[in-house]
Structure 1
Amino acid sequence: MTTPDAAWGLVLKHTRPLARISLPLDGALGHCLAETVRADRDLPPADRSAMDGYAVRAADLRRRPCVLRVIGEVAAGSPARPRVRPGLCARIFTGANVPPGADTVVLVEQTTENDGWVSIRSSARRGANIFQRGEDSRRGAALLRPGTMIGSTETGVCAAVGKAELHVHRRPRVALLCTGAELRAVGDRVAPHELRNSNGPALAAALAQWGFPGASQRQVADRETALRAALRRALRAHDVVLFTGGMSVGKYDLVRAALEAEGAMVRFHGLAMKPAKPTLYATVGAGQHIFGLPGNPLSAMTACHEFALPALRRLAGCAPARCRPALRLPLAAPLRAKPGRVRCVLARVSWDADGPRAHPVESRSSADLVAAGCADGAIIVPADAADLAAGSLVTFRP
């Protein structure tokens, strides 16, 4: 069996970011940059006031008492540039450009204005309460690198430097093929020997939640001819195909045979991991990918989060080191560990005065979808780990 780390290495070896496309800024949310975004001018582009107050010369503040004549005002967005000479000052507001001659801003709370004159009750160092030109970034500086996912803050950065259109990587198109004669639609009445298809909706929701909406879904019978036909159809319009079920070694586990009959190259099948041991990964040609996820819901979701979702992130242009996000958290309770293979243990996260903690969530089997509903993710327990005491640092995958 393949170790999870080796399996992820194989996935990374065969995945490359998809083609570049151009999108308007308001349509790029959730996409990964395929270019460097640079500052088109110094940020801020001029010395600007950080507070409401008066723009003064620091040298004038040495006088006691300090009374200066107000010669005008500058508001944010105003082109006004009253020159501040010795003995003069200008009323100024937050975000306004500092007028020529001034080198300091005194807070309005430290002043009293009367009939065009202002008395200043405190001193200030030269440059106080001023955002200096270029202190955030100089013109031409790289602000966002290729591989950065566009979120709300990144959108703000792009807007600030005039990037109305972005070069990003195309997001992969995904097909979900759920196998099994026992599966029925969510709204169907079911007999004791039947199951409602929970894997399809759950996996589609997981993909959408993590930035890959719109996955197509189809139920497929446990027949090799049906599996092959469904795969051919999916590969015509999708970059990635996710199968659920049919991954083990039983009479009706026919997915691998169908894949190989259609020319797919199996890169691994079987992991030293619990749950999700029967997981499969295959490629077709140079740019299409197939993940065979186990049929049991916990196993399917685990394999999706450990391998399929990270692969989608890589195809979408995410840097390899950011494809499998994880946190290091202290355990809130002891965790029994059986060495031999990697275990993914359901866990929820709580916050208290000492920070976040991971609480193991008990599950009865790899089909225990109810337990998964109580969890925020999984603790990744190494294959060589012994029992872990409360307070031990563990890797938590959301």
Structure 2
Amino acid sequence: MIPVNEAEAIILKAIAPLTETEIVGLGEGHGRILATEVTGKLDIPHWDNSAMDGYAIRAADVPEQPVKLQVIETIPAGEVPTQTLQAGQAARIFTGAMLPEGADTIVMQENAEREGDMVTILENPTRGKFVRSQGDYYRAGEPLLQAGMRLGAADIAVLAACQCPKFPVFRRPTVAIFSTGDELRSPTDTLQPGQIVDSNRYALTAFVESIGAIAKPLPTVPDDPAKLKETMQAALAQADIVLSTGGVSVGEYDFVEKLLEELGAEILMRKVAIRPGKPLTVAKFPDGKVYFGIPGNPVSALVGCWRFVQPAIKKLSGQKDNWQPHFVWATSPETLKGAGTRDAYLWGNLTMTETGYSFTRPSGGHSSANLINLAQTNALAIVPKGVAEIQTGDRLRVMLINS
């Protein structure tokens, strides 16, 4: 069995990031991976402006307070000042409005008293107070956003503010998904004795789409080598990564590994020291495509995806870094049992308390076939191999999951 961290390293080494790009607009960019460095065309702020409602003044006119100044203009946001401030003058100004020539300071309206066209300044402000100067945040032509970034809401706002309405992103990875097994049926079928619903098809489709890839679910495949090989070929023809569930153990109906070799793949691993999810077949084809054969048990399938497939898809997508899962330290109100020679990944819920993160397990059985209490969980606590148990209140490493 390959240790978990070594398995992750082997998988990431096998993945070559995509290079194909496409141009998208602001409305399509959220969650995409930026393909090139972006530079903006505008200074941010575009011009000196006020950070407060109040009065634009010359700081030199207020060596002490109170001082009366003549109000010569009112400047709302969106309008250009028409006058230049001279000694002894002020302008009524609103948040975001452009500073008039000659002004260098803003006095909040709470620190001023207006009477007719005169205003009394009740404070002695420092020069530049509440002024947002042109280019303070960003200078046009400088690097704005880096290639390999996954664009979030704030990044889209930055692109919009700097008038970058279109930009290049890497194309989204495609992932073909199918399940194997004579017992599998659709959620709309009437089940006969011995039959179960193919929930993995829907879980893995949701998983793939949640990290920005394009899922291509294929029909369920019976335990027939010829039909399985045909489906594997079809999957490889239309996707960058193939993700199949079932058929990767050592039973008489487990054909995946043998067929991968027949199709010309190099088997990179067969088993990983993790529970659940020990059977993990990973193979790479000469054209760079990667095949993941994961267990059919629904919990094992998702744990394998969260721990191993997610980093692979993130790297493939062109994301520069941060491929690995996010881990935090927590404590648990109960003792957590280990899995002997394997790392135990125990599903549950991570919450923040006054003293730090706390991890709790859901009620019910914790078999890899029990999909029920996996619902609404958000983390996997890790008991390292060789550790019999982690006692109540002891620190433990917890992996956040993206469901």
TM-score by length of 2: 0.94
Aligned to 2:367: 365
Is the Cα contact below 8 Å between 2:277 and 2:300 reproduced in 1?
yes
How do 1:88-99 and structure 2 match up within 5 A? 88-99=89-100
Provide, for residues 76-104 of structure 1, a one-character-per-residue CA deviation record: whole Å limited to 9, x for no partner: 22122421111001111111122111111
Aligned to 2:384: 382
Aligned to 2:52: 51
Say which SS state the counterpart of residue 83 (structure 1) adopts.
coil
Aligned to 1:9: 9
Shift in Å at residue 329 of structure 1? 3.2
Is the Cα contact below 8 Å between 2:12 and 2:311 reproduced in 1?
no
CA distance in 2, matches of 1:122, 1:256: 79
CA distance in 2, matches of 1:144, 1:290: 33
Judged with a 3 Å threshold, the aligned counterparts in structure 2 of structure 1 residues 170 and 380 are, in CA distance, closer, same or farther, namely farther
**Which residue identity lines up with residue 225 of structure 2 in the other structure?**
E
Structure 1 regions of 5+ residues with no counterpart? none
CA distance in 2, matches of 1:72, 1:228: 79
**Which residue identity lines up with residue 207 of structure 1 in the other structure?**
V
Higher deviation after alignment, 349-358 or 55-64: 349-358
Aligned to 2:210: 209
Provide, for residues 187-244 of structure 1, a one-character-per-residue CA deviation record: whole Å limited to 9, x for no partner: 1111231111111111111222232354323201111111110011112211111110
**Which residue identity lines up with residue 9 of structure 1 in the other structure?**
A
CA distance in 1, matches of 2:216, 2:350: 29
CA distance in 2, matches of 1:64, 1:210: 59
Is the Cα contact below 8 Å between 2:174 and 2:216 reproduced in 1?
yes
CA distance in 1, matches of 2:47, 2:123: 26
CA distance in 2, matches of 1:114, 1:196: 77
CA distance in 1, matches of 2:284, 2:11: 9
Say which SS state the counterpart of residue 260 (structure 2) adopts.
helix
Provide, for residues 302-327 of structure 1, a one-character-per-residue CA deviation record: whole Å limited to 9, x for no partner: 1111111221111111124x112313
Say which SS state the counterpart of residue 257 (structure 1) adopts.
helix
CA distance in 2, matches of 1:125, 1:106: 10
Judged with a 3 Å threshold, the aligned counterparts in structure 2 of structure 1 residues 144 and 391 are, in CA distance, closer, same or farther, namely farther
Is the Cα contact below 8 Å between 2:65 and 2:123 reproduced in 1?
no
Shift in Å at residue 301 of structure 1? 0.5
**Which residue identity lines up with residue 366 of structure 2 in the other structure?**
R
Is the Cα contact below 8 Å between 1:180 and 1:220 reproduced in 2?
yes
CA distance in 2, matches of 1:139, 1:290: 45
How do 1:1-398 and structure 2 match up within 5 A? 1-18=1-18, 19-320=20-321, 322-333=322-333, 334-361=335-362, 363-389=365-391, 390-398=393-401
Judged with a 3 Å threshold, the aligned counterparts in structure 2 of structure 1 residues 185 and 64 are, in CA distance, closer, same or farther, namely closer
Higher deviation after alignment, 297-306 or 350-359: 350-359
CA distance in 1, matches of 2:117, 2:63: 21
CA distance in 1, matches of 2:224, 2:65: 94
CA distance in 1, matches of 2:396, 2:106: 48
CA distance in 1, matches of 2:396, 2:126: 47
CA distance in 1, matches of 2:35, 2:386: 39
Q: How much is the aligned-residue C-alpha RMSD, in angstroms? A: 1.7
Higher deviation after alignment, 354-363 or 35-44: 354-363
Judged with a 3 Å threshold, the aligned counterparts in structure 2 of structure 1 residues 252 and 68 are, in CA distance, closer, same or farther, namely same
Shift in Å at residue 64 of structure 1? 4.1
What percentage of residue pairs aligned between the two structures are identical?
34
CA distance in 2, matches of 1:60, 1:163: 41
Judged with a 3 Å threshold, the aligned counterparts in structure 2 of structure 1 residues 380 and 21 are, in CA distance, closer, same or farther, namely farther
**Which residue identity lines up with residue 293 of structure 1 in the other structure?**
I
CA distance in 2, matches of 1:83, 1:63: 23
Say which SS state the counterpart of residue 156 (structure 1) adopts.
helix
CA distance in 2, matches of 1:192, 1:329: 45
Structure 2 regions of 5+ residues with no counterpart? none
Is the Cα contact below 8 Å between 1:358 and 1:396 reproduced in 2?
no
CA distance in 1, matches of 2:378, 2:212: 17
Say which SS state the counterpart of residue 219 (structure 2) adopts.
strand
Is the Cα contact below 8 Å between 2:326 and 2:399 reproduced in 1?
yes
CA distance in 1, matches of 2:256, 2:100: 73
**Which residue identity lines up with residue 55 of structure 1 in the other structure?**
A
Shift in Å at residue 165 of structure 1? 1.2
**Which residue identity lines up with residue 189 of structure 1 in the other structure?**
T
Say which SS state the counterpart of residue 307 (structure 1) adopts.
helix
Higher deviation after alignment, 325-334 or 168-177: 325-334
**Which residue identity lines up with residue 11 of structure 2 in the other structure?**
V
Is the Cα contact below 8 Å between 2:383 and 2:389 reproduced in 1?
no
Judged with a 3 Å threshold, the aligned counterparts in structure 2 of structure 1 residues 338 and 226 are, in CA distance, closer, same or farther, namely closer
Provide, for residues 334-392 of structure 1, a one-character-per-residue CA deviation record: whole Å limited to 9, x for no partner: 32334422121102022333454222346431111012115212123332445323251
**Which residue identity lines up with residue 378 of structure 2 in the other structure?**
D
**Which residue identity lines up with residue 376 of structure 1 in the other structure?**
N
Shift in Å at residue 393 of structure 1? 4.1
TM-score by length of 1: 0.95
Shift in Å at residue 177 of structure 1? 1.4
Q: How many residues align?
A: 397
CA distance in 2, matches of 1:327, 1:133: 40
